[in-house]
Amino acid sequence: MRTADFLAALLDRLPPPTLLVSALGRTSEELYRLAPDRTLVTDTMGDVAALSVGVALGARPLPVAGVDTDGSFLMNLSVLTALGARLPTLDNHTLVIVDNGRYESAGGMPSRLVGLDWHHLFRAVGLTALAVHTPADLPRRLPQPGLVVLGHVTNDDPAPDATKPVDGVESAYLVEKYLARQRGAAYRRPAVKT
């Protein structure tokens, strides 16, 4: 399964207004292409899980999905205990890890040099990991509290060049406007300098 196929199928299973918090690289390019006005692009590694949980807590009942990559998630394993404490009771959040086994945007080196059992890792903090190898493996309904979706992907082509016209800061403004529209509220405007 390719990243593009997995993410398209994932978006079909998530409620339509789901706000997306995305890792960088191919994942962010694909999510921005599919849902530009509701994709928060992070320009760092290791932050998606924590940021998406924070957004989900603050944006309830709006659904939020943190779409991380294996390499990015492994950069911040200290978030595991917080995930174990929050995800089982957070009914508007989906955590997804797109796993291709490498740091694709950094030249393709492996994301880990030893075997990793994602199921045991998440079980250690009270969460359930679901391995997805084809779009049909995705649950019919998301979010599901306490579930982590592991999309196992293989991309035969090189990582794409960045084509989205926004960076993390600009995507944050787009997402802020999206949240305001969902809530029927005014959004913050940039400051005018005189």
Per-residue model confidence (pLDDT) at position 38: 94
Reading the block at residue 108, the tokens are 């393709």
Residue with tokens 């929050």: 86
Query: Average pLDDT of the chain?
Result: 92
The domain made up of 3-183 has a fold known as: Rossmann fold (3.40.50)
pLDDT tens for each residue of 135-180: 999 999 999 999 999 999 998 887 777 788 888 888 888 888 888 8
- Sorted by where each begins, the domain ranges of the chain are 3-183
What kind and span of H or E run contains 7? helix 3-13
Peptide bond into 143 cis (omega under 30): yes
Give the single-character DSSP code of 147: E
Kind plus residue range of the DSSP H or E element containing 55? helix 48-58
What pLDDT, on a 0 to 100 scale, did the predictor assign at position 3?
Answer: 95
